[in-house]
Structure 1
Amino acid sequence: MPNKISFTKRKLETLPLPPLGKRTTYFDVKAPGLAVRITATGTKTFVVYRKVNGRPERIALGRFPAVTVEQARKMAAEVNAVIAKGGNPNDKRRTQRAEITLGDLYQEYLEHHIKARGKRIKNPESYFKLYLSQWQHRKLSALKRSDVRTLHNRLGREKGHTTANKTLVLLKAMYNKAIEWELFKGETPCDGIQKLPEKSRDRFLQADELPRFFQALAEEPNETARDFFLMCLLTGARRANVLAMRWEEINFERATWTIPTTKNGEAHTVPLMPEALTLLESRRYANGESDWVFPGTGASGHLVEPKKAWARILKRAGIQDLRIHDLRRSLGSWQAATGANLSIIGKTLAHKNVSTTAIYARLNLDPVRDSMQLATRAMLEAAGVLPKAEIAEISKKKLG
């Protein structure tokens, strides 16, 4: 016969302990199914024993005295109500136990979304390791909105709004994929959290900076890095695409570079100006057997992050607050300054905008080429560099 008593705080505190390796169970006379299990070490756990759909279930409620007798009876009543409606309180717990962790989800996201689509993996890896890895052992349902909001606000204060927002975007994208892949059900912990306002960056090379920039560029001893920066400026392409430029993507006869996949997920054809072709021809004969236009010594096979060379160039040029990405913005800004409309600039830079996509689709490369030529000539003239001949000289570390 089961041990039945009326649970009180004092009575539970004075119950005898079972022999070593054994457990004793006492049932409450007031709450149906409510029991307390006692181990030989004195641990006392409230549980509810009930049959659910003909099968015996034990639903753990919590440990005494952290959970009081009154709380245990209330929890038992809620469990009994769920069972009366045909539910099983343990189903949710079993689902949670079977859930993957945030770290597991990140690996799935990295392998089956980022790498499978040929996207850059550096940024997601950096943001996860720096800001989200603290939660890598948490089950997906264990991460709460309050956790994410606290992190988002802290990163905004300490690292800046852009970093905070990119971390939020990564986490939200991971959860959305988890739902799509049927690894998680329910609301994501990112729902309802708004991005922090970001200041739009509009930095580009000004007319008075161009002569100093080209002079410093010509003096850079790292030829691969030097040519890479120049190609970023002459094509307006994203840094990642220029870094991964392959010879098979270059058509010298048509003077084009076809990027297989850009940030917007589509291929993009870039007209190559005579200055860019001159630089490429110089590199083609010097590169030997490498598949990459800008080869590197790392695992990727190509140049990865020429930060030191960039810092040297800016220091020699006396230029402040200029990023490598600003070279891309420089071409677009000089296109605008030489009369190009927004559609032409958008086509040049492979921008994907809902309101102008239809216009971009109808454009051929001729007006884009003309505009890029005007912008390139304007930049080089402002720098005091003759448009075509001097590019070859820069590549040979000679200026003027």
Structure 2
Amino acid sequence: MSKTGKKVKITKRVVDLADPKKSPYIIWDKELPGFGLRVAANGRKAYIVSYRVGVGRGAKQRRVSIAASNTMTCEMARKEAQVYLANARLGEDRREEIDAAAKAKADITVAKAIEIWHAEAAHRNRRTGKARDPRNIRNEMSRMDAHLIPAIGNKKLRELTRRDVELLRDDITAGRTAVVQKTKKHGVRRATGGTGTAKRTMVSFKSVLAYMKDIGFVDQNVAANLRLAPDGKKERYLSVAEAHRLGKCLDEWEQMDRRMTGITIIRLLLMTGARTKEIEELKWSEIDFDRSFFRFEETKSGRSIRPISPQVLDILKGLPRLHPTWVFLNNAGTGPYCGTQAVWRLVREEAGLPDVRKHDLRHSFASFALANGLSLPVIGTLLGHSRPETTQRYAHLSDRHAMEAAKSVGLAVMNALEGRE
């Protein structure tokens, strides 16, 4: 690499005017010996520093690239070069430190990357900065532990390719990563995979890779814009007859004083359209008994105020106050209840509704509201939607009810024209 004969003070103007030549060359700074600008034949420019570590014949000669000229000002680069030169005078080689750090980054595995993300970034929403639900984080880690780490956990992060990620997505979807894991002393978890699991696992992994890119461990997120199939879950709505079966089952369990907390929560889920966590973790302070409102302090969409029916209010007024904060207590009496899912599995089987998910109770609430003539904006308020477009998912139900109404009106008009009652 050739050098320019005359040294100049490196300034922004010097950097801008440094044209490429047939061979790469270096412009050395006249004020800071060892600081220079390297100009490549293709026009790329980078600040460099050249120094010796130690004295005498055994002194190591080093030349380090500080940064590309379009990513750092010349004054910032000059200060960085001064640090290298000062360390060199003390016999310290910062290049070795940098090489060690670079090697550590190069050697990091996918499993270690997930561990770093879990410790440093999982607790905050990357887009909004809000704290995330610890239960969601545990679920994400559980899926990656079951389906992702056994498959690619030992692979070096920098060697991970887009094809690796696509194949893993397909393997999880096809159930090829299915595993049976021991959980507690006598507990077993069966991770079967499937389309929905693949989607949720890869969404979590995309967040891991995005964070690794943010902190400089990889240059690109190989899972960015990865095509993810819909999870295949269809929105299920209870018919009037199915709701009647469910109600009868709930009544029978109440008469037997069986799993009363879970039964009450299930009834409230259908009667309010609330999310499970919102009712399980309901606080007495969030119930406005005078104005008949829920005033949730924190939900999926932030703070939320929702009107509730007199029937719901009667249920809430009849509950015993066993704790100063929580409406529904866990078995230990120390925190909120969290066993609704287990009760729901038993109830839905007994009611003959094996394909109905607990979250479908929320969808069913919206369906009954539309059947009774409520508009989509009003339903969005009752459900606590922060954006109108979220409620639009129920627009097709509105069309269906309108068609049924049209048939009913058409039949009534025809009967009148033909003189039938």
> What TM-score comes out, normalization by structure 1 length?
0.60
Q: 1:154 aligns with which of 171, 177, 184?
A: 171
TM-aligned CA deviation for residue 111 of structure 1: 3.9
TM-aligned CA deviation for residue 204 of structure 1: 1.7
TM-aligned CA deviation for residue 299 of structure 1: 9.6
Residues 1:349 and 2:363 aligned together: no
> Aligned partner of 2:297: which letter?
P
TM-aligned CA deviation for residue 338 of structure 1: 1.6
Residues 1:217 and 2:250 aligned together: yes
SS in 2 for 1:258: strand
Residues 1:169 and 2:169 aligned together: no
Distance 1:136 1:212, change over 3 A: same
Task: Give RMSD over aligned pairs.
Answer: 3.4
Partner of 1:229: 266
1:82-106, Cα deviation, whole Å (9 max, x unpaired):
xxxxx99958535435896322222
Distance 1:319 1:94, change over 3 A: closer
TM-aligned CA deviation for residue 336 of structure 1: 1.5
> Aligned partner of 2:194: which letter?
G
1:215-242, Cα deviation, whole Å (9 max, x unpaired):
1011221110011101111111111222
Identify which of structures 1 and 2 has the higher relative contact order when contacts are C-alpha pairs closer than 8 Å and 6+ apart: 1
TM-aligned CA deviation for residue 170 of structure 1: 1.0
Task: Map 1:373-392 to 2 at 5 A.
Answer: none
Q: 1:316 aligns with which of 344, 350, 353?
A: 350
1:275-321, Cα deviation, whole Å (9 max, x unpaired):
111111111xx232252111113698222133332233223322231
Task: Map 1:290-305 to 2 at 5 A.
Answer: 290-297=324-331, 301-305=335-339
> Aligned partner of 2:230: which letter?
P
TM-aligned CA deviation for residue 138 of structure 1: 5.5
> Aligned partner of 1:238: which letter?
R
> What TM-score comes out, normalization by structure 2 length?
0.57
Q: 2:131 aligns with which of 110, 117, 140?
A: 117
Distance 1:320 1:335, change over 3 A: same
Structure 1 residues without counterparts, runs of 5 or longer: 1-51, 58-86, 360-400
1:325-365, Cα deviation, whole Å (9 max, x unpaired):
111111011112122222222232233447579x9xxxxxx
Residues 1:274 and 2:310 aligned together: yes
Task: Map 1:246-261 to 2 at 5 A.
Answer: 246-261=283-298
Percent identity between matched residues is 24
Structure 2 residues without counterparts, runs of 5 or longer: 1-49, 53-59, 63-94, 176-192, 393-421
1-structure distance, mates of 2:124, 2:363: 32
Partner of 1:62: none
1:105-145, Cα deviation, whole Å (9 max, x unpaired):
22223345599715243432332332234355655434332
2-structure distance, mates of 1:268, 1:205: 26
Distance 1:113 1:202, change over 3 A: closer
> Aligned partner of 1:163: which letter?
T
Are the aligned partners of 2:124 and 2:132 in contact in 1 as well (CA < 8 Å)? no
Are the aligned partners of 1:104 and 1:136 in contact in 2 as well (CA < 8 Å)? no
Partner of 1:128: 144
Are the aligned partners of 2:329 and 2:337 in contact in 1 as well (CA < 8 Å)? yes
